[in-house]
Every structure is written in structure tokens, then in C-alpha cells.
Amino acid sequence: SQTIHQWPATLVQPVGSPLSLECTVEGTSNPNLYWYRQAAGRGLQLLFYSVGIGQISSEVPQNLSASRPQDRQFILSSKKLLLSDSGFYLCACTNVAGESTDTQYFGPGTRLTVL
């Protein structure tokens, strides 16, 4: 079965600083990958998804960007963080071998606080 790793687990960053969050997937190949953000007490907001290396679809215009340099690696970045970027960032995957293509699994998440 697949395993999704995310790091760091928690992060405290000042406003205006850059950001790089990493997600890697083990145990499957050619997954579809997703970045979500969950603000405190809120639902999940889809930020980006990717169906292959170098392919990124952006769902919400903002100061974040994503990249997929390798099949099982998904990176979320920002050049300058805003206070509103604080939240719980979750990486997810679908298209896992042996599962239906729309079953989604999540990594443990990164909790980001921007001060």
C-alpha cells in the first residue's frame, strides 16, 4: 500500500519569508497528487493538483506555486508568505494501484503558522 510523507510536520515562519513544503509518495507509481489547505475550523481547499511530472493545475489564484519534479514528489512553494497562508497543508494522492481512481489518501500534513 502507498505511504505519503510530508515535511516538515510543523513550521513557524515570518511574514514575507519563502516557503517550501515537500510531499513524497511510496508504494505506487504515476499517482495523481494534490495540495490542500485547511484553515482552522474550516474545510479543505484544493490548491493544486498534478496528473504527471511537470504538470500542475492551479485551483485558486494566490501567492503559492507547486512543482512536480519527479513522479512521486510534489512541492508547494511561496516566495513571500502572508498571514493568511497559515493553515494545515495536506498532500493527497489518487490513482493508487489496486484502488479506484477516485479514492484519495492523505499525508500527515504540515502545520504552518505565519507570524
Partner 1 sequence: RKEVEQDPGPFNVPEGATVAFNCTYSNSASQSFFWYRQDCRKEPKLLMSVYSSGNEDGRFTAQLNRASQYISLLIRDSKLSDSATYLCVVTPLYNFNKFYFGSGTKLNVKP
Residues in contact with partner 1 by CB under 8 A are 32, 34, 36, 42-44, 46, 49, 51, 57, 59, 88, 90, 94, 100-109, 111
Q: What share of the chain is helix, strand, coil (3-state, %, to 5)?
A: 5, 55, 40
Instruction: For the CB of residue 13, give the shortest distance to partner 1 in the complex, in Å.
Output: 19
Q: Which is nearer to partner 1, 17 or 109 (CB)?
A: 109
Least distance CB 79 / partner 1 (angstroms): 26
Helix, strand, or coil (residue 85): helix
Smaller CB separation from partner 1, 17 or 57 = 57
Closest separation in Å from C-beta 82 to partner 1: 22
Q: In 19-29, which positions are buried (b, 16+ CB within 10 angstroms) versus exposed (e)?
A: bebebbbeebe
Checking DSSP bridges between strand 10-13 and strand 110-114, what pairing results, if any? parallel
Q: Which is nearer to partner 1, 67 or 88 (CB)?
A: 88
Beta pairing partners, 38: 44, 88
